[in-house]
Chain A
Amino acid sequence: MTPDLSVRLGPLTLRNPVMVASGCCGFGQELAEWMPLSALGAIVVKGTTLRPRRGNPPPRVWETPAGMLNAIGLQNDGVQDLIEHKLPWLREQDVPIIVNIAGETVGEFAELARVLDRAPGVAALELNVSCPNVRAGGMQFGVCTTGVAEVTSAAREATRLPIITKLSPNVTDIVEMARAAVDAGADALSLINTLLGMAIDPETRRPRLANITGGLSGPAVRPVAVRMVWQVARAVRVPIIGLGGISRAEHALEFIIAGASAVCIGTGLFADPRCPIAVVDGLRDYMERHGIERLGDLRGALEAAV
């Protein structure tokens, strides 16, 4: 028996469920120095905005127990640069390309979706309504159902590409946000983005990050992410991409058993840029060990007396 690792993500079929997360793999070129991108289920490229963004001043990162805070601030060269200079190379890498887009307004999300609809090689769009490190846009949309719905439906009307809404965990009820996205036309959901956090140097009384607050990621957030995936999977019918602290197959399995169709590796790449390969291999081993033919059969297979 050769285990079948392919998964369906709405209209997309991925060769395996292991993707790399937006903001953690740039636009693929540096990661390709460490592993062939064709080994991935998909790549989600860095948050792309209509116009270039310089990003936040340093320090932008701070390590925390089993995790890290970041406040990069969506540094990128804008959507035109992506189309002209980054997509041509990425298209040659034999990997589905998902573009994470971040607008400051609902109109900018629609404009980004419209521009990328015509760009060859884009497999899907991920809507960044959950970045905690920018003043305008970002998480401001992701923390209320109307914001999530407006952005999702604006993008939905502007493109035929599959739409993935990336949800923020910084909400009282993640299920409400998920339902708002699905009702507005999302083909899939990514969860979770980073948890808003903060660290202080007591000696200087200064914040560790120039931005003062930042997004917490890494192994420390995994239990929160698994819980949210589990809650949302029971409430909506669209596929879920689970992420938060994944760097090994056993972590990915938690998300899949909780109800995720696919997973993203983000911060895990910083510690080991080759860990996606180990996760794919580990999933295959697990399936062989447990006699699972199709990975989809494991999705939502939580054994719980509830």
Chain B
Amino acid sequence: MSEGAPRPGQDHYVAQVRTNIGVADGHRLLTLICPEVAQTAVPGQFLQIRVSVSGQDPLLRRPICVAAAREDEVDIVVRVAGRGTDLLARETPGAFVDLLGPLGRGFTRPGRHEPVALVGGGVGVAPLHFLLTSLADPSRVRVLLGARTRALLPRQPGLSGLEGLRIATDDGSEGHHGTAADLLAGVLETDPPHRVYACGPQPMLAAVARLCIQRRIVCEVSLEERMACGIGVCMGCAVPMAGGGYTRACREGPVYDARAVKWE
């Protein structure tokens, strides 16, 4: 990558909202018309989306992973966590959103027939869904999804009918009573995949990373850290590295090799 040269497709776009549907309690799936991002985004990359008209309050953009890309449109899943994401989740079809992207480093593509497992928790399912849709042979894929409770499981189109899908809920309201990491532990016992891709809350990622590192299975995690700029200038989204020091989730991440990260 040459210094100062923009990454593929990376630019400032104003995208129109095509649809906005509910996919779980407090989760909206927005489809944005943005052909440039749809054609250049790699699974694991994110967009920095402006949530206020003025750009002054709320001041900062919200980093949101691309959940799917088709011809001229991209999907994002917005989890309403505060004032900013609430504003974004209310955008109606026809409205315009101001975004920067695609940003960050995405997942490494697996080999054509390599058996892989995707482990997602809550809204973390979004980038894994994008990865799944980009795979040549989705039938070889195990998808392990976890959520606190049934109502928080994302009903994302393209996930429900999947043969390799397993569900876990913390309260046992659907699927396995436990976590997605528990499901992975079972899969690693019976039929270990070559690669594991994970995205979700920090404790889940730490558990997944530990399991994979023990068994020497390649594992990539997509990390979420508080972010200000999203473009590598503020040093806000620091991720502690196993070798010491910090890297930027927005730039060296958000996808990391699990071995490179310092887990608490």
Residues of A within 8 A of B (CB): 23-26, 28-34, 46, 54-63, 65-68, 70, 72, 75, 89, 93, 218-219, 247, 267, 269-274
**Chain A interface SS verdict (over half):** loop
Interface residues of B (CB under 8 A from A): 3-7, 10, 12, 50, 55-61, 84, 100, 225-240, 244-246, 251
**B144 CB, min distance to chain A CBs, angstroms:** 27
Identify the interface centre among B60, B230, B234, B251: most chain A CB within 10 Å of its CB: B234
Q: Does A219 contact B59, Cβ atoms closer than 8 Å?
A: yes
Whether the Cβ atoms of B226 and A273 lie closer than 8 Å is no
Q: A30-B233, A33-B4, A270-B233 are in contact. Are A61 and B59 (CB under 8 A)?
A: no
Give the distance in Å from the alpha carbon of A41 to the alpha carbon of B245 in the complex: 33
The chain B residue with its CB closest to the CB of A54 is B245
With A54-B245, A61-B234, A66-B57 as known contacts, state yes or no: A32 contacts B229, CB within 8 Å: no
CB A252 to nearest CB in B, in angstroms, measures: 15
Q: Which of B5, B59, B231, B232 has the most CB of A within 10 A?
A: B59
Q: Give the residues in chain B near A61, CB-CB below 8 Å.
A: 226-228, 234, 236-237
Query: Beyond A29-B4, A60-B226, A65-B57, is A273–B231 a contact (Cβ under 8 Å)?
Result: yes
**In contact, A75 and B235 (Cβ under 8 angstroms):** yes
- A14 to B230 Cα, complex, angstroms: 29
Would you give the shortest CB distance from B5 to chain A, in whole angstroms?
Answer: 7
Residue contacts A-B, CB under 8 angstroms, 11 given: A23-B235, A32-B3, A33-B231, A54-B246, A66-B56, A219-B59, A247-B56, A271-B59, A273-B229, A273-B231, A273-B233
Q: Taking the nearest CB of chain A, how far is it from the CB of B29, in angstroms?
A: 24
Given A30-B251, A61-B226, verify A272-B55 contact (CB < 8 Å).
yes
Specify which of A23, A26, A60, A65 is in contact with B238 (CB 8 Å cutoff).
A60
* Distance of B10 from chain A, by nearest CB (Å): 7
7 more A-B residue pairs beyond the given contacts A33-B231, A68-B60, A271-B55, with a C-beta to C-beta distance below 8 A? A33-B4, A55-B238, A63-B59, A63-B84, A75-B235, A219-B59, A247-B56
Q: Contact partner of A57 among B100, B237, B238, CB < 8 A?
A: B238
Bound CA span A198–B186, Å: 44
Check B59–A30 contact: CB distance below 8 A.
no
Q: Are A93 and B246 in contact (CB under 8 A)?
A: no
Query: Which residues on the A side are within 8 Å of B236 (C-beta)?
Result: 60-61, 70, 72
**Cα distance, A271 to B53, chains bound together (Å):** 12
CA distance A68 to B56 in the complex (A): 11
Residues of A within 8 A of B60 (CB): 63, 68, 270-271
Measured in the bound complex, the distance between the Cα atoms of B55 and A271 in whole Å is 7
A-B contact count (CB 8 A): 114
Which B residues touch A63, using CB under 8 A? 58-60, 84, 228
User: B56 near A93 (CB under 8 angstroms)?
Assistant: no
* Contact (Cβ within 8 A) B225 A33: no
Residue of B nearest to A275 (CB): B55
Instruction: Let me know if B226 and A271 touch, CB within 8 A.
Output: no
Q: How far is the CB of A238 from chain B (nearest CB, A)?
A: 29
A residues in contact with B228, CB < 8 Å: 61, 63, 68, 70, 267, 270
In the complex where A33-B5, A219-B56, A271-B50 touch, is A55 in contact with B225 (Cβ < 8 A)? no
Say whether B226 contacts A58, CB under 8 Å: yes
Which 6 residue pairs spanning A and B have beta carbons closest together?
Answer: A32-B4, A61-B236, A30-B232, A270-B229, A66-B57, A33-B6
**In the complex, A274→B84 CA distance in Å?**
22
In the complex formed, the residue of B with least CB distance to A274 is B12
- Given the interface pairs A26-B233, A26-B235, A33-B231, the reply to whether A219 lies near B6 with Cβ below 8 Å is no
- Interface contact A24-B233, CB-CB below 8 Å: yes
- A46 to B238 Cα, complex, angstroms: 16
Closest to A251 in B: B56
Bound-complex Cα distance A33 to B230 (A):
13
Whole-angstrom distance from the CB of B224 to the nearest CB of chain A?
Answer: 11
B233 / chain A contacts, CB cutoff of 8 Å: 24-26, 30-31, 269-270, 273
Assembled-state Cα–Cα distance A35/B59 (Å) = 20
A30 lies within 8 A of B231 (CB): yes
